[in-house]
Amino acid sequence: MPAAQRVTQSKKILQTALDRISSKGYANTSMRDIADEAGVALSQLNYHYKNKEGLFMEAIDMTIQTYMKELEAHVMTGNTPKERWQSFIGYFRKMLLDNPKLFKVLFDFVSMALWSSAYGDKLNSFFRDIATLIEKNILLDNHLKNKIKKYNTNAIAQMLSSALLGASVQFLLNPSEMKLLNALDSIELIYE
């Protein structure tokens, strides 16, 4: 099989795995389900990814890369830290309304990470990267830095990212409760 065709087949399998997890969840996704939906032999999954853990490690990597790329783009939108924060929150709101499956995949991976140190390492790194992104682009503003100087800015960034993710989980569990999205806005109180 030519290298280009292997890459295409590999990406198709990976995308199928992500689609399946986002619609059925990890617990309801088997390697056979993925192979059937991707239109490949089960042996092809093992050829490309060695085993189920290898496939899901790649899926986690792809999900994290997608999130970080989009989060970085949104946090850089705006001239002031407050505008950057509003853009950051806007991203969460838009994704929760327009593409909740991406969040569901992330939270399914978080659940898996509770039982697997390999998955846990990847997710811990991702959460640290989000906190660092918030710290560098939002909290280290001179005006804000003076208001929060008695606190560790990284700890505040971790708390803010945790609040965003927690509100996101609550909204996914009850999407008819639109006021949960307003909880994202309340985090702006750090600017008052």
What pLDDT was estimated at residue 1? 55
pLDDT digits (tens, 9 = 90+) for 9-60: 888 999 999 889 888 888 888 899 999 999 999 999 888 888 888 888 898 8
What pLDDT was estimated at residue 16? 92
Q: In this structure, what token pair is assigned to residue 54?
A: 């290898």
What pLDDT was estimated at residue 7? 56
Backbone phi, psi, residue 79, to 5°: -95, -25
What pLDDT was estimated at residue 4? 52
What residues in the chain have per-residue pLDDT under 70? 1-7, 141-149, 188-192
∠ Cα 183 184 189 (to 5°): 85
SS (H, E, C) the chain: CCHHHHHHHHHHHHHHHHHHHHHHCHHHCCHHHHHHHHCCCHHHHHHHHCCHHHHHHHHHHHHHHHHHHHHHHHHCCCCCHHHHHHHHHHHHHHHHHHCHHHHHHHHHHHHHHCCCHHHHHHHHHHHHHHHHHHHHHHHCCHHHHHHCCCCCHHHHHHHHHHHHHHHHHHHHHCCCCCHHHHHHHHHHHHHC
What pLDDT was estimated at residue 146? 64
What pLDDT was estimated at residue 112? 87
What pLDDT was estimated at residue 152? 80
